[in-house]
Structure 1
Amino acid sequence: MSIRDTADSPRRRIIEAALELLEGGGSDAVSTRAVAAAAGMQPPAIYRHFGDKDGLLEAVAEHGYAQFLETKRAQLDLSPKDPVEELRRGWDMVVEFGISRPELFAVMNRATGSGTDAAHQAGLEILHGRVRRLAAAGWLRVDEELAAQIIQATGRGGVITWHSTPAERRNPALLTVLRESMVAAVTRAEPTVPATESGPAPAARALRAALPDDTDVLSDAEQRLLREWLTRLAADGGMPQA
């Protein structure tokens, strides 16, 4: 949260009023007049702080990302030591957020501003950290980047499918099956010991995950080259054969 968005700032009051209207009536309910009235201000204040309605919705999306990241970071402190269970809990948290706050989730996914992009990248760093821990423990069966994409796609797809399905036809089992399908796609049934498993891909994934971000042993150019080689080796044969 920036200094300009402190709890008692006019800008923050406008954002929170807009968020309440959004979650109560959708984006159509977020008119400048309605937001100004809810925030106890005049409409020109919205134009002064946000430019127009699109700018206001971008700020609402950024505020939503901040709340979302706060929850994700808090979850890191409570995550189980088992990286597969950590993956499940992280996926469940994202999906629960999207299902319980559909209007905000939709606005966040449409946002393109620099603030939301930075927050999105921060969320991706948490996701990639989870994937790296899977790889380091010998659980990962696909390349790290592909695993992150599968996790994202199934989570977002589950939320979209849930909301596009009539309420009387929604089945919570869909989310459980989708989550377990994701887990099966990116992890092995049992962790492997890369040194004894045939093929270079598992060893490359584990070694790349264990590499420090910086080391005095290798130059920057050597580190980049090593990571490139490991990435290529990790992708080779990463997907299970049919």
Structure 2
Amino acid sequence: MSTRSRIIEVTAALLAQSPTGDVSTRAVCEAAGVQQPALYRLFGDKDGLLAATVDHVWEQYLAMKRAAERSADPLDDLRAGWDSHTAFALAHPNAYRLLFATTLTTRPESADEAMRLLREVLDRLAADGRLRVVSTTAAQMVMAANTGVALALVLQPSLYPDAGLSALVRDATHRAILRDVDAVDHASDARTAAANTLTSGLGELVPATFSPAEAGLLGEWLARVPAAEAHSTQK
């Protein structure tokens, strides 16, 4: 094992055991058997060390998501992704807080990949015509809600003692972004879903069918459809 890997492993262990959610570089160096100059040479500063450690801990979660077989129904994958996200937060509260509830000057890469994996599932739902909003917005809504309820469970367990709250927030969030495919479709709902489905596939049409400029213009037109339908519904 390299010195860098050993330091990260030690930091992850100390972080998991920390009652405050913090670790000192001195404690890390003592446990890893290295001098502080070596730590700073490898990671730049404490934030760099913590960011690398968060990525290391979250790699377990992300590797599991990458390896997971797709379900026949992407909605099953969306639900499972939410539940595994919350479960991981509860199992690794200090690493979770560092990723989503701190302002590290060195940004962990884990959050970006978690969003990318979520977007892949939502793109599949969009391709099936099942999203009320474009997949980019849906991903932001789902991630914000998922991290919000997970942080509530992690940071304020006395106020949020029931982990079952996560499933309630999950279902409410999913109802907000998904069409009810079992209900009779209203014309406006169908038009919005069609626009979102086309938007999700624009990237695959460049450059085979459209130039980037043409795709950008088409994307702008399609984005107007949900807004126009929402406006007409409010009248």
Query: TM-score when scaled to structure 1?
Result: 0.82
Q: Distance in 2 between matches of 1:112 and 1:85?
A: 36
Alignment of 1:77-96 (within 5 A): 78-96=69-87
Deviations 1:132-189 (A, max 9, x none): 1111112112232331122011111111111233459611321111111111111122
Q: Distance in 2 between matches of 1:69 and 1:240?
A: 41
Which residue pairs with 2:16 in the alignment? 23
Amino acid at match of 2:149: G
Contact 1:139 1:188 in 2 (8 A): yes
User: What's the C-alpha RMSD, in Å, of the aligned pairs?
Assistant: 2.7
Say whether 1:179 aligns with 2:182: no
Partner SS state of residue 237, structure 1: helix
Which residue pairs with 2:217 in the alignment? 225
Contact 1:141 1:238 in 2 (8 A): no
Which residue pairs with 1:214 in the alignment? 206
Alignment of 1:54-69 (within 5 A): 54-69=47-62
Alignment of 1:1-242 (within 5 A): 8-26=1-19, 30-75=23-68, 78-109=69-100, 110=102, 111-113=104-106, 116-117=108-109, 119-166=110-157, 170-190=161-181, 198-199=187-188, 200-211=191-202, 212-237=204-229
> Which blocks of at least 5 consecutive residues in structure 2 are unaligned?
none
Structure 1 pair 49/215, CA: closer, same or farther in 2 (3 Å)? Answer: closer
Which residue pairs with 1:3 in the alignment? none
Q: Distance in 2 between matches of 1:102 and 1:175?
A: 15
Q: Distance in 1 between matches of 2:232 and 2:6?
A: 52
Matched pairs, number: 229
Q: Distance in 2 between matches of 1:93 and 1:11?
A: 29
Amino acid at match of 1:217: T
Q: Distance in 2 between matches of 1:92 and 1:24?
A: 24
Structure 1 pair 160/65, CA: closer, same or farther in 2 (3 Å)? Answer: same
Shift of 1:241: 6.1
Query: TM-score when scaled to structure 2?
Result: 0.85
